[in-house]
Amino acid sequence: MDFAPLELSADTHAFWDEVRAFYSEHLTEEMLEKEHREGNGFIPSLQLAMGARGWVFPGFPVEEGGAGLDPLRASLVEYEMHRRVGPLLPLFGPIHLVAATVRVFGSDELKAHVLPGVARGEVLMAFGYTEPDAGSDAAAVKTRAVRDGSEWVITGQKMFTTGAQLCQYSMVTARTDPDAPKHRGLTMFLVPLDAEGVEVRGIETLGGERTNFVFYDGVRISDMYRLGDVGAGWQVASSSFAVEHHMPNGTGGLEPIVPRLNEFGWYGVLGALVDAAVEWAHAPRSDGSRPIDEPRVRDRLAEAALDRELMSVTPGPYVRVSTSAALIRDAADLLDMVGPTGVLPRGEEGAPVGGTLEWIHRFAQGTSIYGGTTDIQRNLIAEQLLGLPRHRGVLDRRS
């Protein structure tokens, strides 16, 4: 492994300075504090400012609303944001992945109708897969879509649709053929959330983020909003899942046009945790001593910092499992290292580092289920990458 520093050109350093200055202006402490309080998962003014520069899709061609940046500069745009926000702003990933799905599976009419607004930062999109009885078994959806001429009538319920209160669209799996085997009777739609019959209700989470129930009561949408063929919704969803889970096969052409936001997002969470712990360790106690001067404290900080760096070089399919486990472990260990005051939440007098350690510890617990459980991810790795036999209890996806 080459541990030599990455040499950047003077032009690249200048661009990185430009990126830092941009986020210092458009991602201020006041904005982050407001997001901490509200937990929306998104800052609209930041998205608009990024859209004005083409940075919503920094690697896309300029004619498609992107900035046409090379991979290194596009990565700097994404990395610098996630370094600053940590666990905040989880809606960025869904926006990119849904837009990529529209780009690949949507009609020319739908792409022209939706994607320019996304690139400008004006249109936001969310995932609409999960239902009360359809979580890790994503094909068990009961939401129905019935064709009526050139329209579809959608009735059902989704949950954990993060960002629905701010988004204009949700990508929804619906059952269009109740008589077909469950993986073959689905169709994917991009549903306008301002359509008549849509109701969004908030759900508060342990980590402080807001997510949502979304109810669809006879919602009528044009066939223009269909993604992929009728009955091929599982293939569309599987392509999205493959990208989200970093699996090398079955991405349906989406992977090359989705930035590495998930990896940068995880790096940001672990980075925020480590940085907060290091800041705490350097603060003098009442007797003038500092925790950082104790060997055991330095050893524990080094372990967490190594976990962060290992995550950055872990191959995509494995990163979510290893990082979730490391984040849960490191958050608990570092909080224990700080002691009883570490559990004081943000805003409480005496909360170390503004309550960041306590906050990330709460957030970490959900990382083992976000986007499907890490147990499911382990099964995918075992079956698709390691060639192991399928789990005896796994659902038959051929049905």
pLDDT band at residue 398 using 50, 70 and 90 as cut-offs: very low
Strand ranges (E), the chain: 125-128, 144-148, 151-159, 169-175, 186-192, 198-204, 210-222, 226-227
Residues 172 and 130 in one domain: yes
Q: At what angle do helices 71-85 and 261-282 cross, to 10 degrees?
A: 50
- Looking at the structure, tell me whether residues 153 and 224 fall in a common domain: yes
| C-alpha dist (Å) from residue 236 to 102, 312, 327, 369, 377 | 10, 29, 31, 22, 19
What is the count of structural domains for the chain? 3
pLDDT band at 5 (very low <50, low <70, confident <90, very high): low
Single out the residue of 270, 288, 290, 271 nearest to residue 280, CA to CA. 290
Selected residue with higher pLDDT from 172 and 270: 172
For residues 131 and 216, state if they share a domain.
yes
- Condensed to tens digits (0 to 9), the pLDDT of residues 33-91 reads 888 888 777 788 999 999 999 999 888 889 888 999 998 898 899 888 888 887 677 67
Same domain, 266 and 356: yes
Per-residue pLDDT band for 256 (boundaries 50, 70, 90) equals: very low
Are 114 and 107 spatial neighbours (Cβ–Cβ below 8 Å)? no
Do 208 and 142 reside in the same domain of the chain?
A: yes
In this predicted structure, the answer to whether residue 379 has a pLDDT above a threshold of 60 is yes
Look up the pTM and report it. 0.83
Question: Which domain CATH number covers 168?
Answer: 2.40.110.10
Rounded to whole angstroms, the Cα distance separating 8 from 12 reads 6
Tell me: do 223 and 160 sit in the same domain: yes
* One domain, residues 142 and 214: yes
Across 37-46, 140-149, 246-255, the highest mean pLDDT is recorded for: 140-149
Lowest mean pLDDT among 246-255, 293-302, 340-349: 246-255
Measure Cα distances from 391 to 245, 249, 337 in Å.
18, 19, 39
> In this structure, is residue 150 part of a structural domain?
yes
The CATH number of the domain where 25 resides is what? 1.10.540.10
Task: Supply the range of the domain harboring residue 265.
Answer: 261-368
Residues facing 190 on adjacent strands: 171
With respect to residue 62, please indicate whether it lies within any of the assigned structural domains: yes
Nearest to 80 by CA among 304, 259, 289, 284: 259
208 and 293 part of one domain: no
Q: Which amino acid, one-letter code, is at 147?
A: R
- Which tokens go with 28? 């201020």
Is residue 255 scored above 60 in pLDDT?
no
Altogether, the residues listed in the chain come to a count of 399
Residue 170 lies in a domain: yes
- The pLDDT mean for the chain works out to 86
198 lies in some domain: yes
Between β-strands 169-175 and 198-204, what pairing exists: parallel, antiparallel or unpaired? Answer: unpaired
pLDDT, tens digit, 9 for 90 and up, residues 279-326: 999 999 999 999 999 999 999 999 999 998 888 778 777 888 888 899
Which candidate, 204, 193, 39, 27, places its Cα nearest to that of 126?
A: 193
**Which of 62-66, 150-154, 249-253, 319-323 is predicted most confidently?**
150-154
Contacts of 128 (CB under 8 A, 6+ apart): 158, 161, 164, 170, 171, 172, 173, 191, 214
Q: How far apart are CA 137 and CA 160, in angstroms?
A: 15
Residue 297 belongs to domain with CATH number: 1.20.140.10
Same domain, 148 and 54: no
How does residue 201 score in pLDDT terms, banded at 50, 70 and 90?
very high
Structure confidence at residue 3 (pLDDT): 56
Amino acid at residue number 4? A
The residue among 66, 89, 112 that closes a domain is 89
Q: Quick check: helix, strand or coil at residue 131?
A: strand
- Tell me which of 230, 251, 275 is where a domain ends: 230
In a domain, 246, yes or no: no
pLDDT the model gives residue 248: 62
Phi-psi region at 7: left, alpha or beta (left = phi > 0; alpha = psi -120 to 50): beta
Q: How confident is the model at residue 113 (pLDDT cuts 50, 70, 90)?
A: very high
Lowest mean pLDDT, pick from 46-50, 94-98, 121-125, 273-277: 94-98
Residue 113 or 253, more confident: 113
pLDDT reported for residue 39: 77
The pLDDT, as a whole number, for residue 259 is 47
Q: Predicted confidence band at 126 (pLDDT cuts at 50, 70, 90)?
A: very high
Q: Please give the average per-residue pLDDT across 207-221, as a whole number.
A: 92
284-303 b/e with 16+ CB inside 10 Å = b?
eeeeeeebbeeeebeebbee
Q: Residue 38 belongs to what H/E stretch? A: helix 29-38
Statement to judge: residues 84 and 143 lie in one domain: no
Residue 237 falls within a domain, yes or no? no
Is residue 141 included in any domain, yes or no? yes
Section 366-372 average pLDDT: 80
Q: Which residue has the higher pLDDT, 381 or 398?
A: 381
Reduced to 3 states (helix: H, G, I; strand: E, B; else coil), residue 278 is: helix
Q: What is the pLDDT of residue 261?
A: 42
* Residue 377 contacts residue 321 (beta carbons within 8 Å): yes
Task: Sort residue 54 into left (φ over 0), alpha (ψ -120 to 50) or beta.
Answer: left
Determine the average pLDDT of the residues in 181-202: 95
- Range scoring the smallest mean pLDDT among 138-142, 205-209, 224-228, 342-346: 205-209
Q: Residue 159: beta bridge partners?
A: 213
Classified as helix, coil or strand, 170 is: strand
Query: Helix count (H) and strand count (E) of the chain?
Result: 12, 8
User: Does the residue 98 lie in any domain?
Assistant: no
